[in-house]
Structure 1
């Protein structure tokens, strides 16, 4: 059962509308920057795959075009847009002397893509690599890295496993799936098979009619949602739920690639220096430890405190994480 559907035509209208809504993360930003609001970011775009990515570029305070800075692409949670946690961290990194780029993945926010709200880690990894190419081409950049928050922590493993432009990597409250984990999380083989069947049927319907079936991405106690757990960050209109460019939707046809998401298998291929920040209160801490153990290069595991969503927008938790992430990138990307 789906809660919404869109067609190719209505998707085009929706994308046009979101172009006017890119600076909507006000409530969340105030959580971190109630005083001394920093300079607004620059909106940029660049090619990726068969389309383009739109991103917000945050320059360091006191930016000097004659200097060179570490530069980092930042991605957020599943279904997120650049005005949510990705923007929060990009802003905080810029305050700490780093050029930071918060992106809308293709099929989300202002970026291109026909199948809106479609979760595809291979495509997302391509977008992170495209972001690094964009940053590397700048004359004010020393070297490039990736910060992945929540799901993008896993996505970043895909990019880092294959892209030499990932000179350093950091994850905060990362979501790191593997087949064994997915079986447990989605009710065993029957639950996985049922969702794959739903996804294939939705894909068939899309191919035949152009209709994109969706379910809630986050909805407590809704078994049709991608995540039925308590999701206060998304349910709260003063936090992530109040960002108008964000849509609480997951394309049903994405079930198969979402269930195949396996950053744990990518970790042994990652040789870039990596910092993993997690806590007992963040999502699935045992998976974070597993990924850390498998990394092939220099690595650090910082065990913080706080609930999962505290890492998205709560000033003390984000500030502590940003301090450590910025120090990591300044050291590794000099």
Structure 2
């Protein structure tokens, strides 16, 4: 009898492990020769013999896959998609020497590599792969879309800027000039000595942090999780401040979904983009929802996920 109980307990344990393995899988792929680490999530009743539509989810600046990208990825998997999150080069679990660098071009390259990996999988319908960008990675997703990495793209709480929009946000022309000079100096230090010039990304006490007293990032029950690097490479300033996401508005190969509100951090960027893109953009407005609430608050997330799932179901076919 005792042996039977032990065997039964073991069988239950094995079944639980098998179930977990069908819900999520740790994966590796390369971008520009650097190994990146991702997590793939499966829909309920996943059948490895079938091909599923798939969505890659990326998050706000300085974040890792376990933050808002994973929340959205899990919920979209519940809607019937295979979903994937990953850490960019130099962030989280991924490799890369010049770490904690918020470089839109480099991150776009990683998104394209992630899409290429996903399309090689036997359980993914290679012509039904979409991208979802939250906040800063909205622009990166859109750039990847113009490079034909995706069949459709959606963005949530869009942060879309060009130099004209970014300059007043970061203190004006003189301030931006100084930040870029700081960044260039840090990049030269790295190239000459391999040394990083890094500051804290978010803090409630360090006034020199990138995001001083910012919600979400500084809250342990929200974004301040153990996996969060919470670092910002000063060399990021030039690529970040000179990035132009607005230029891609007239290059869209198809429609893009914006899930947004008038209360997001950079509504002027969204307006500028839509003024050029016209009917290529479908917009869902969630009145009063703030930037950070789009990241993890249950009601805005649920509404955003429903909108993205409906859009992808329509556009990926």
The alignment's TM-score, normalised by the length of structure 1, stands at: 0.83
Is 1:309 equivalent to 2:292 in the alignment? yes
The alignment of Structure 1 onto Structure 2 pairs a total of residues equal to 295
Secondary structure of the residue aligned to 1:234 is coil
Q: Describe the superposition over 1:207-266 as per-residue Cα deviations: whole angstroms up to 9, x where unpaired.
A: 3332201122234696644344x511011011111x212122110111111111211112
Find the counterpart in structure 2 of residue 232 from structure 1: 215
Find the counterpart in structure 2 of residue 111 from structure 1: 94
Find the counterpart in structure 1 of residue 124 from structure 2: 141
Find the counterpart in structure 1 of residue 28 from structure 2: 45
Find the counterpart in structure 1 of residue 183 from structure 2: 199
Q: Describe the superposition over 1:243-296 as per-residue Cα deviations: whole angstroms up to 9, x where unpaired.
A: 212122110111111111211112211122210111122211121122223237
Secondary structure of the residue aligned to 1:146 is strand
> Quick check: 1:214–1:249 contact (8 Å CA) kept in 2?
yes
126, 135, 138: which one pairs with 1:153? 138
Find the counterpart in structure 1 of residue 4 from structure 2: none
Structure 1 window deviating more from structure 2 (201-210 vs 41-50): it is 201-210
Paired with 1:294 and 1:132, the residues of 2 have a C-alpha distance of 26
Secondary structure of the residue aligned to 1:156 is helix
- Pairwise CA distance, 1:95: 0.3
- Pairwise CA distance, 1:68: 2.1
Trace 1:85-234 onto structure 2 (pairs within 5 A): 85-142=68-125, 143-162=128-147, 164-219=148-203, 224-228=208-212, 230-234=213-217
Find the counterpart in structure 2 of residue 64 from structure 1: 47
246, 249, 253: which one pairs with 1:267? 249
Paired with 1:49 and 1:70, the residues of 2 have a C-alpha distance of 26
> Quick check: 1:270–1:296 contact (8 Å CA) kept in 2?
no
> Quick check: 2:22–2:46 contact (8 Å CA) kept in 1?
no
Q: Describe the superposition over 1:55-110 as per-residue Cα deviations: whole angstroms up to 9, x where unpaired.
A: 11011111122322211111001111110000000001000011110111111001
> Quick check: 2:23–2:42 contact (8 Å CA) kept in 1?
no
> Quick check: 2:157–2:259 contact (8 Å CA) kept in 1?
yes
Is 1:74 equivalent to 2:62 in the alignment? no
Is 1:277 equivalent to 2:259 in the alignment? yes
Query: Structure 1 residues 220, 256: closer, same or farther in 2, change over 3 A?
Result: farther
- Which residues of structure 2 form unaligned runs of 5+? 1-19
222, 230, 237: which one pairs with 1:248? 230
- Pairwise CA distance, 1:171: 0.1
Asked which structure has the greater CA Rg, the reply is: 2
Paired with 2:258 and 2:268, the residues of 1 have a C-alpha distance of 12
Secondary structure of the residue aligned to 2:102 is coil
The alignment's TM-score, normalised by the length of structure 2, stands at: 0.88
Paired with 1:106 and 1:291, the residues of 2 have a C-alpha distance of 28
- Pairwise CA distance, 1:39: 6.8
Paired with 2:300 and 2:96, the residues of 1 have a C-alpha distance of 34
Paired with 2:277 and 2:94, the residues of 1 have a C-alpha distance of 31
Secondary structure of the residue aligned to 1:74 is strand
